[in-house]
Amino acid sequence: NDGIDISSSAGTPVKAAEAGTVAAITRDTDQVPILVIRHADNLLTVYANIADIKVEKGDSVSRGQTVANVRSGDPAFLHFAVREGFESV
């Protein structure tokens, strides 16, 4: 898949990679939340396999701000992707 899976303990804070605006909060086909943050230059960061989302669509976030926590699972991990528009980069 596009992006990377980062091994982590369940409940670990997920932090924004850069300042931006929450563009979308949605769910995948298994109903697992996905958070998308829009940054300058049409870059998007995508955070999946998360829980306890701390922000809402339209919120401004700063770099390093906690936006969610890692969801429990076996194994627990954060899925992270960077996109330029619809293209993975």
Quick one: average pLDDT of 58-83?
A: 97
| DSSP tag of 19 | S
- Selection from 82, 83, 78 nearest residue 68 by Cα: 78
* pTM for the whole structure: 0.93
DSSP H or E stretch at residue 4: strand 4-7
DSSP H or E stretch at residue 85: none
Is 86 a residue whose pLDDT tops 80?
A: no
**Cα atoms in the 13 Å half-sphere on the side-chain side of 30:** 4
- Tell me the pLDDT band of 1, cut-offs 50, 70 and 90: low
